[in-house]
Structures are given as C-alpha cells and as structure tokens.
C-alpha cells in the first residue's frame, strides 16, 4: 500500500483485519506529511452533494479572495489549471447525477468510523455531538432558514441552534446571530491520532509499516512491482492512496487521475475555550473551529496553489485577525499549517481497480472529505481486493471516467 494518510491507514487496518498480509509505505509517520494531519476533524455527514454545481458557476466570483472570499486561484497557475477547471465546469452540469454516489459513501460515514474506531480500541477519538453552522449579521436568520430548507430537501437533519449558543455568539460579536445544529455529523479529537490508531492496530495484527520514498509502481504480469528508494518489491496486489501525489503512479496502469492540490490552512489556539463542545462553522467567514484535544483548531481557504509551495503568510495573518474578531484568543502563538486536499474536478473520489491483468487498486481524490470517507472507503477497497461485491456501486467512482489520456500532473 502506498500512502499512510487517513485513507491508506484505514484501508491498511481493514485489509489486515480481513487476513491480507499488508505492507504500508509512506515517506513519513502515518498522517504526518499529507492533508490528513491538519484537517478540521469534521465528520461531514451533511455534505452529500459534490461541490461543482450550476449555482456555484454563477456565484463563485463572490467566493474569490479578491472579493474577500476563501477561494484563491493564483494567476500564474491559470494555464496549468485550465484543463482541471474545464472539467469542473463540465461536472457542474451533473451535480444531480453525481450526488447519489457521493451520498452513498457520506451518509453512513460517522457510524462506519465509529465501528472501526471501536474495533481498534479508540472510540474515545470520535465525538458524536454533531456540529453547528452559524451566521452573523442582519441577514443571518434568512440565510440559516435557506440552508435549513436545502438540507431538508436532501434529508439531512437540522435543528435551530440552542438559544445559549446564539447568546454566546452575540456576547463575542454583538448583533444578530442565527445557527443550525446538524445532529448526525461528528468530529475527532485529533485527526493524526485516528490514522495512527488504525496503523497501530494493523501492525499489532501482523501488518508492516515502512518509512520510505516510493519511486515507481510497475505492472508485472499478474503482479505489481513497487520500487522505493531502498528496494524493489514484487507483490500480489498494490493499493495507491498517496493523496495529491497519486497520479504518476496510476499512469503506468492506463489511468488518468486529474488531481489538483486544493490547499487549506489551519491555526491552532492552545488552551482556548470552545464556544460549545462541537465544531462551529462560521458560514459567512468560511471558518470552522473544532474543539480538539487541548486546543481549538480553526481551518479555512481553498487555494489552488502548487502542492509543496510555501504557505502564504498573509492568509494566516488574515485568519488570525478573523479569529480575534470572532472572539478567539490564545496565549501561545501557533505558526499555522497548510495542506493539500487531493481533489478531482467532479469532487467524487476515485476508488476502484485499474484495467488490465495487474492487480492495482486505488483510493484517491477524497477532496474535503477524506477523514469522513476513510472508513467507508476502506470497506469498499477491502471488498474489491477480496473480490466480493462492494457495499455500494463503485462504477461512478472509477477513474476511467476521466479517460485514459494522460493529463499533465497538476500538483
Ligand atoms: C484545511 C483542511 C481541512 C479539512 N477538513 C476536513 C474535515 O473536516 N473533514 C474531512 O473529512 N476532510 C477534511 N479535509 C480533507 C482531508 O484532510 C483529505 O481529504 C484527506 O486527508 C486525504 O487523505 P489521503 O490519505 O488521501 O491523503 P494524505 O493525507 O495527503 O496522505 C497521502 C500520503 O501519501 C504519502 N505519499 C505520497 N507520495 C508518496 C511517495 N512517493 N512515497 C511515499 N509516501 C508518499 C504522503 O506522505 C502522505 O502521508 C480537510 C483538508 C484540509 C487541507
């Protein structure tokens, strides 16, 4: 298995539990180097619809950073991003078609993660108190009502936020405040610990974890050869779950994975008091504040910058100021973190088996939902590897939907 982010770690545990001998490879400790380290910890059971939609096409300009929004499309990346953006526009016409395959993975996600964490003895990492979406300012009640109606259409449960929460919001930022409670979502107390728990349980049950750089994966008849910086291994099957860096590994197997790095940032507030014991999404500000073990973590931004480019200090500064305005302070100063969401242009993950004889499986492109979807994805991949019918229809998730022409890598 290539990649010990949350997706690879959950799959490693699941395959080991089913009796497969597993070797998990990553250049770093589990969930240390990729997006899985720094996410918001939100188990987003309400996010059933893929992002590209006709409505977003008409209104996305408002989300751009030049209009003080969270989306940054750097001009110098325009040419590199053009093919991805063209596919995004195409996918916007098909949100209705693309919702059921995503929803099938998302709806059971909190229950599936809870079951998996209980099995590895770390149920304590998951908190199931839902989350809140809140709006501030005179239009807050109307916006909350509109979002509640949209949720109802998707059969996502919401309730008005309790009066104590609204009062607490108003105490921090005077004015009108409205909120919704999503009872069926959840959050984790430390995203990296979730991945580490899966890997520890897998290793205890006989799997191996090796820290190395994977250079190449090649078909070898009905087997697969994995070349790392230290060795070449020929194995009975390989699973690629290397996040935003997965595409080059899949090319040799005829698959095109037009992944882009959709970067997000976080700041942590050590010892700061949460407003409530569940994540709070400040919808107007596009900031989610999650109570984690010993600190709050605030995440935001969708920055289409190159994976590995240095963080933009101005964005962190802007996030720091926004948090202060929202009433969050901490005595210690956190330097901030940036990470790359691995995102395909239709915002569906890619999960399946490569065409041809070589047993190459993949689980990539989990965009904003990798923590949410890791446990359900692991169940699907385990079924594919075991040659059983998976728990849901994986055909819409097959990467062959992007054709087999090899696009230049976008990260
Ligand atoms: C700011 C932010 C907030 C988010 N909030 C949430 C949230 O609240 N809820 C949610 O569900 N999701 C959230 N996400 C999305 C989620 O974090 C990602 O979808 C998820 O982490 C992707 O997991 P992954 O295992 O596919 O990739 P990664 O975590 O990126 O892991 C890939 C791994 O592959 C390894 N790797 C890659 N190439 C090689 C190589 N050649 N050799 C060896 N190792 C290699 C890397 O070292 C890395 O460990 C958020 C993301 C961000 C950035």
Kindly report the three-state secondary structure assignment for every residue of the chain.
Answer: CECCCHHHHHHHHHHHHCCCCCEEEECCCCCCCCHHHCCCCEECCCCCCCCCCHHHHHHHHHHEHHHCCCEECCHHHHHHHHHHHHHHHHHHCCHHHHHHHHHHHHCCHHHHHHHHHHHCCCHHHEECCCEEEEEECCCHHHHHHHHHHHHHHCCCCCEECCHHHHHHHHHHCCCCEEEEEECCCEEECCHHHHHHHHHHHHHHCCCEEEECCEEEEEEECCEEEEEECCCEEEECCEEECCHHHCHHHHHCCCCCCCCEEEEEEEEEEECCCCCCCCCEEECCCCEEEEEECCEEEEEEEEECCCCCCCCCHHHHHHHHHHHHHCCCCCCCCCCCEEEEEEECCCCCCEEEECCCCCCEEEEECCHHHHHHHHHHHHHHHHHHHCCCCCCCCCHHHCHHHHCCCCCCCCC
Q: What is the pLDDT of residue 226?
A: 98
Taking the C-alpha atoms of residue 126 and residue 118, their distance in angstroms, rounded to an integer, is 10
Set out the domains of the chain in order of their start, with CATH numbers.
6-57+75-114+190-260+344-402 (3.50.50.60), 128-185+261-341 (3.30.9.10)
Q: What is the pTM of this model?
A: 0.97
370 C-beta closer than 6 A to ligand 1: yes
214 C-beta closer than 6 A to ligand 1: yes
- Reference 254, options 399, 50, 93; nearest CA is 399
CB burial of residue 184 (10 Å; 0-12, 13-18, 19+): middle
Q: Give residue 367 CA to ligand 1 midpoint distance, Å.
A: 9
Length of the chain: 411
- Reference 328, options 192, 175, 180, 168; nearest CA is 168
Q: What is the pLDDT of residue 407?
A: 47
Out of 35, 267, 397, give the residue to mutate to test ligand 1, the one with the largest number of ligand atoms within 8 Å of its CB: 35
Taking the C-alpha atoms of residue 277 and residue 189, their distance in angstroms, rounded to an integer, is 11
307 C-beta closer than 6 A to ligand 1: no
Nearest-atom index, ligand 1, CA of 34: 30
Q: What is the pLDDT along the chain (411 residues), one digit of tens a residue?
A: 999 999 999 999 999 999 999 999 999 999 999 999 999 999 999 999 999 999 998 888 888 888 788 999 999 999 999 999 999 999 999 999 999 999 999 999 999 999 999 999 999 999 999 999 999 999 999 999 999 999 999 999 999 999 999 999 998 888 899 999 999 999 999 999 999 999 999 999 999 999 999 999 999 999 999 999 999 999 999 999 999 999 999 999 999 999 999 999 999 999 888 999 999 999 999 999 999 999 999 999 999 999 999 999 999 999 999 999 999 988 888 899 999 999 999 999 999 999 999 999 999 999 999 999 999 999 999 999 999 999 999 999 999 999 975 544 555
Nearest-atom index, ligand 1, CA of 41: 8
70 C-beta closer than 6 A to ligand 1: no
Taking the C-alpha atoms of residue 393 and residue 234, their distance in angstroms, rounded to an integer, is 30
Taking the C-alpha atoms of residue 311 and residue 314, their distance in angstroms, rounded to an integer, is 9
Output phi, psi for 315, to 5 deg: -65, -40
CB contact at 8 A, 409 and 342: no
299 C-beta closer than 6 A to ligand 1: yes
Taking CA atoms only, the protein residue closest to ligand 1 atom 44 is: 26
Q: Which two tokens stand for residue 193?
A: 């610990």
- Reference 22, options 217, 208, 283, 299; nearest CA is 208
Out of 242, 369, 409, give the residue to mutate to test ligand 1, the one with the largest number of ligand atoms within 8 Å of its CB: 242
**pLDDT, tens digit, 9 for 90 and up, residues 183-204:** 999 999 999 999 999 999 999 9
Which neighbouring-strand residues pair with 295? 270, 292
């Amino acid at each position: 298995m290539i990649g010990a982010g949350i997706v690879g770690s959950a799959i490693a545990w699941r395959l080991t539990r089913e009796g497969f001998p597993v070797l998990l490879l990553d250049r770093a400790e589990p969930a240390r180097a990729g997006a899985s380290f720094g996410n918001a910890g939100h188990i987003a059971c309400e996010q059933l619809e893929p992002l590209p939609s006709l409505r977003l096409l008409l209104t996305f300009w408002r989300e751009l950073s030049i209009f003080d929004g969270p989306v940054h499309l750097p001009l110098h990346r325009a040419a590199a991003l053009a093919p991805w953006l063209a596919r995004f526009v195409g996918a916007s016409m098909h949100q209705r078609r693309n919702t059921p395959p995503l929803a099938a993975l998302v709806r059971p996600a909190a229950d599936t993660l809870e079951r998996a964490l209980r099995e590895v003895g770390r149920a304590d990492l998951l908190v199931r108190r839902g989350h809140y979406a809140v709006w501030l300012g005179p239009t807050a009640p109307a916006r909350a009502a509109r979002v509640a109606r949209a949720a109802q259409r998707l059969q996502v449960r919401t309730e008005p936020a309790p009066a104590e929460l609204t009062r607490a919001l108003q105490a921090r930022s005077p004015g009108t405040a409205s909120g919704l409670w999503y009872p069926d979502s959840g959050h984790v107390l430390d995203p990296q610990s979730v991945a580490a728990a899966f890997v520890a349980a897998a290793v205890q049950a006989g799997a191996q974890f090796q820290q190395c750089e994977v250079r190449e994966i090649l078909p070898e008849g009905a087997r697969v050869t994995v070349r790392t910086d230290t060795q070449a291994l020929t194995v009975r099957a390989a699973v690629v779950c290397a996040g935003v860096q997965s595409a080059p590994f899949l090319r040799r197997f005829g698959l095109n994975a037009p992944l882009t790095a959709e970067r997000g940032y976080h700041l942590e507030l050590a010892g700061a008091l949460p407003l409530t014991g569940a994540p709070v999404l400040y919808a107007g500000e596009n900031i989610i504040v999650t109570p984690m073990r010993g600190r709050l973590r605030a995440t935001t931004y969708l920055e289409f910058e190159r994976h590995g480019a240095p963080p933009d200090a101005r964005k962190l500064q802007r996030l720091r100021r926004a948090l202060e305005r929202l009433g969050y302070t901490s005595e210690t100063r956190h330097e901030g973190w940036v990470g790359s969401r691995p995102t395909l242009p239709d915002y569906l993950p890619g999960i399946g088996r490569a065409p041809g004889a070589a047993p190459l499986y993949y689980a990539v492109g989990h965009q904003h939902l990798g923590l949410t979807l890791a446990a359900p994805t692991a169940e699907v991949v385990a079924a594919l590897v075991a040659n059983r019918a998976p728990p849901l229809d994986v055909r819409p998730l097959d990467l062959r939907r992007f054709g087999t022409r090899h696009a230049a890598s976008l990260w």
